[in-house]
Chains A and B, each alone.
Chain A
Amino acid sequence: MRWLRNNLVLLLGIAVLVYTFIPIFVVVLMSFNDPSSRLIYRFDGFTLHNWLNPCEPEGMCSALRTSMEIGLVATIGSTILGTLMAFALVRHRFVGRSSMNLLIFLPMATPEIVMGSSLLALFVATGFAGQLGFWTILIAHIMFCISFVVVTVRSRLAGMDDNLEQAAMDLYATPQQTFWRVTFPLVFPGILGAALLSFSLSFDDFIITNLNAGNTTTFPMYVWGVAQRGIPMQVNVIGTLMFVIAVLIVVGGEVNSRRRQRALAAR
């Protein structure tokens, strides 16, 4: 009884965690489902068919490829722009700091439907209504990823001890050398984290993309389309893969940073 009282909060917390995993179990399970009909969405039998023929549903893999291409370019663009901004925010003086903070915060606080519709209004007003597609999606994705990059890189930079940089300067390193040999390697994990976050935000976005996509179909838009007609089980294969890959990356990063910390401690 005493044990229960001491650990009640922890048990409740674990219960909430378990709850967050319920749909994941369903997605993994359904990826092995052998459906009797496309219209009835329930588990009917076990099969490896979906995993062996992931690209069977028409249009799914091309949508997946579109999403990956957009995700990759949007990640590169937003990571560069956001990282530069983060350096300026932490390291440099400039006029208008609080409006800058607001400019970076607002895209994270604006509902996607509002951002998407105003961007669409802009494209229509400037005569780009006919050009909606890959490029307009890309523009939108870079826009809403920048803020998340700034926040992630900024917190890494702000938590960083600048004694190491001072030491490098004292040892006659030029500013360039100090930056590339000391500062950048220290900030890099933050930049990498920001890039991964951007990719997953871009890859998963539906609301803004849907408004500005024209005839281009991304993976979430494909899922939205088939949700009305009957979902091919391969969608769950992709869902499972996304989960597994993301977890592997996060765990890999964690293990790597622990190993580095241990190596530093041993030195």
Chain B
Amino acid sequence: MASTAGTAPVTTAPASDESDRRRGLTGYILLIPGVVWLALFFVIPFYSLLATSLYDPNGSVFSGYEMTYHWQNYVDAVKDYWQPLLRSLVYGAVATLICLVLGYVLAYAIAFKAGRWKNLMLVLVIAPFFTSFLVRTLAWKLILADDGWVVNALQAVHLLGPDGRLLATPVAVIAGIVYNFLPFMVLPLYASVDKIDHRLVEAAGDLYANPFVGFWKVTWPLSLPGVVSGTLLTFIPAAGDYINAQLLGSPNQRMVGNVIQNLFTDANDYPAAGALSMIMMVGIVAMVFIYVRRAGTEELL
């Protein structure tokens, strides 16, 4: 990823102009295998999910489900699980906001301040995330443990009561989410900030804008495409995650992912799980469409 993040600007890419592209069947032949795979195992499954969410809730995996267009599954799902749904939104939003702040500092530092260490720093950004997601999260569990140094330090400065803990609180869950999804924020932000002509920022300084005004009026607006795609790419997996809530939280921090997972594997309540998944999917698709209408589809990739 590091080597592709800083590729040359579009002006040196003659082949990306529609008129230079080759006509004929070859393009379609190249596309077919991948499109078929995505259609079979990405698009069609949504139809199955939709169907599942409308099954008669009285069936089971073993006796089979009956299709009764039982749309009340959705009402029941929201009624029963509005708390995890809301929690996912809130945890995801807070984590995304923290990621944005941390990620912006890092992306800005790499793009403008790192000089010849740019590539090294980019490698360092993604390096920690090559370790298994679960192993990393378990390491956080150890760091935030009840008798760990973080908790002890916070107790010493009275930010945390003597019985206070971090594990099994929203703080730990959000901290875990922030950590695990930070690269999804940093890389798009970097790609966007790196394209900014630094002379523009200097010009603002020459015209007596103080650094904060210069940042707010020049750098920030120019980096908005990265901010938007980074926010989207961070928020979506963050709201859908349940590993952090499971390993660092308690049942009181259950997110919608935990519920869906449980309903599918333990409770075998497929219709409710399907309905919850559909609700999530519709929310995400709505977000993506708003984004696409603003930015167009070429900017997505």
Give the contacting residue for A117; candidates B16, B30, B243, B277; CB below 8 A: B277
The answer, yes or no, to whether A133 is at the interface (CB within 8 Å) is no
The answer, yes or no, to whether B220 is at the interface (CB within 8 Å) is no
Residue among A118, A152, A200, A243 having the largest count of chain B Cβ atoms under 10 Å: A118
A20 touching B109 by the CB < 8 A rule? no
Chain B residues touching A, range: 35 or more
A114 touching B284 by the CB < 8 A rule? yes
Least distance between A154 CB and chain B CB atoms (Å): 7
Give the contacting residue for A10; candidates B24, B114, B124, B128; CB below 8 A: B114
The answer, yes or no, to whether A44 is at the interface (CB within 8 Å) is no
The answer, yes or no, to whether B135 is at the interface (CB within 8 Å) is yes
A146 touching B121 by the CB < 8 A rule? no
A23 touching B281 by the CB < 8 A rule? no
Residues of B within 8 A of A219 (CB): 132
Main secondary structure of the interface of B (DSSP, over half): helix
B4 touching A190 by the CB < 8 A rule? yes
The answer, yes or no, to whether A173 is at the interface (CB within 8 Å) is no
B134 touching A20 by the CB < 8 A rule? no
The answer, yes or no, to whether A238 is at the interface (CB within 8 Å) is yes
Mask: chain B, 25-38; 1 = CB below 8 Å from A; 0 = not: 01110110111011
B14 touching A162 by the CB < 8 A rule? yes
Least distance between B258 CB and chain A CB atoms (Å): 9
Least distance between B143 CB and chain A CB atoms (Å): 6
Residues of A within 8 A of B26 (CB): 88, 92
Residues of B within 8 A of A21 (CB): 124, 127-128
Least distance between B114 CB and chain A CB atoms (Å): 7
**Given A110-B284, A207-B243; A82-B34 close (CB under 8 Å):** yes
A158 touching B10 by the CB < 8 A rule? yes
B37 touching A254 by the CB < 8 A rule? no
Least distance between B22 CB and chain A CB atoms (Å): 5
Residues of A within 8 A of B85 (CB): none
Give the contacting residue for A223; candidates B114, B135, B182; CB below 8 A: B135
Q: Which residue of B lies closest to A193 (CB)?
A: B3
A118 to B136, CA, bound (A): 27
The answer, yes or no, to whether B110 is at the interface (CB within 8 Å) is yes
B131 touching A243 by the CB < 8 A rule? yes
Least distance between A149 CB and chain B CB atoms (Å): 9
Summed over the interface, the residue pairs from A and B with CB atoms below 8 Å come to a total of 323
Main secondary structure of the interface of A (DSSP, over half): helix
Give the contacting residue for B138; candidates A12, A155, A204, A223; CB below 8 A: A223
A91 to B41, CA, bound (A): 26
Q: Which residue of A lies closest to B14 (CB)?
A: A162
B131 touching A17 by the CB < 8 A rule? no
Least distance between A169 CB and chain B CB atoms (Å): 13
The answer, yes or no, to whether B273 is at the interface (CB within 8 Å) is yes
The answer, yes or no, to whether B81 is at the interface (CB within 8 Å) is no
The answer, yes or no, to whether B261 is at the interface (CB within 8 Å) is yes
Complex interface residues of chain A between 157 and 174 (CB less than 8 A to chain B): 157-162
Give the A interface residue count (CB, 8 A): 108
Give the contacting residue for B284; candidates A16, A17, A85, A111; CB below 8 A: A111
**Given A88-B30, A238-B135; A118-B48 close (CB under 8 Å):** yes
A227 touching B138 by the CB < 8 A rule? yes
A56 to B244, CA, bound (A): 27
Q: Which residue of A lies closest to B259 (CB)?
A: A113
A250 to B110, CA, bound (A): 18
A111 touching B124 by the CB < 8 A rule? no
Q: Which 5 A-B pairs have the closest CB atoms?
A: A111-B240, A13-B109, A92-B27, A246-B130, A23-B139
Q: Besides A92-B24, A223-B134, 9 other CB < 8 A contacts?
A: A9-B113, A16-B103, A42-B145, A92-B22, A114-B281, A155-B7, A161-B12, A193-B3, A243-B130
Q: List 29 A-B contacts (CB under 8 A).
A: A16-B106, A17-B121, A22-B143, A24-B127, A42-B145, A88-B30, A90-B15, A92-B24, A93-B24, A94-B27, A105-B297, A110-B281, A113-B260, A124-B52, A124-B270, A125-B51, A140-B41, A151-B4, A155-B4, A156-B4, A158-B13, A160-B13, A162-B14, A207-B240, A207-B242, A219-B132, A239-B131, A240-B131, A254-B119
